[in-house]
Structure 1
Amino acid sequence: MLLEIRKLLQDRGRVSLMDLSLHFGRDTDAMRGMVAHWVGKGVVRQIDPEACACAGCGKCAAALGAEVYEWIGPAPKDRPA
C-alpha cells in the first residue's frame, strides 16, 4: 500500500489525509502512519491547509482542520518532471 500512496501523491501533488483515508478505505490514524513513512524519506511534507485549498482561498481545508500532504520528491521515472 505504501507504493500506492506514493503514486497517488505523485499523481495529484497534494492530498488531504481525509482523501487518502477515503480512497484506501482505512482510518485516518492508519493513513497518517503510512504517510509518515514518506515524510521520513523526505519526499512528502505536510503543508498548511490554508495554502492549498481547492479554490485557492484556503477556507474550506482550514475550517475542517485538514491535514494536507504534498509530494516534493523527484518526478516518477515514467514521465518528465
Structure 2
Amino acid sequence: MLINKLRDVLREHQRASVQDLSLKLGMAPDALRAMLETLERKGRVHKLPAQTCGDCCKCDHDALEVYAWGAPGESTVSLHR
C-alpha cells in the first residue's frame, strides 16, 4: 500500500517536504496530502510550521510544506539530503 511506503519514507528520513515525497514516491502532491492528513489524524506525523525563504513568492509551495514523523513535541533528528 502506498500509505505504508509513505510511512516508511518518513520514518527513515524523519522529515520531508511534500515535493520530496512526491518525487520519491512518484505521486501527485494532492494525493500525498490526503495520506499525510490521515497519518496526522492518527498522530503518526505532523506538519511543521510554514517555511519561507523570502518575500518573492516564487518558491514552490510543495517544497516549503514539510511533514515530520511522530507527534508534535516528540524528539526527531534533523537529517539533510
Q: Does TM, scored on the shorter chain, surpass 0.5?
A: yes
TM-score, with normalisation over the residues of structure 2? Answer: 0.69
> Offset of 1:35 from its aligned partner?
1.0
Deviation track 1:7-65 (CA, whole Å, cap 9, x = no partner) reads 10010001000111111111110110111111010110000243xxxxxxx638xx733
Percent identity reads 31
Code of the residue aligned with 1:67 in structure 2: it is E
More helix by share: 1
Code of the residue aligned with 1:24 in structure 2: it is L
Structure 2 residue runs without a partner (length 5+): 75-81
Structure 1 residue runs without a partner (length 5+): 51-57, 75-81
Q: Counterpart in 2 of 1:13? A: 14
Count of aligned pairs = 66
Q: Counterpart in 1 of 2:78? A: none
RMSD: 2.3
State the 4+ residue runs in structure 1 displaced beyond 2 angstroms.
none
TM-score, with normalisation over the residues of structure 1? Answer: 0.69
1:3 correspondence with 2:4: yes
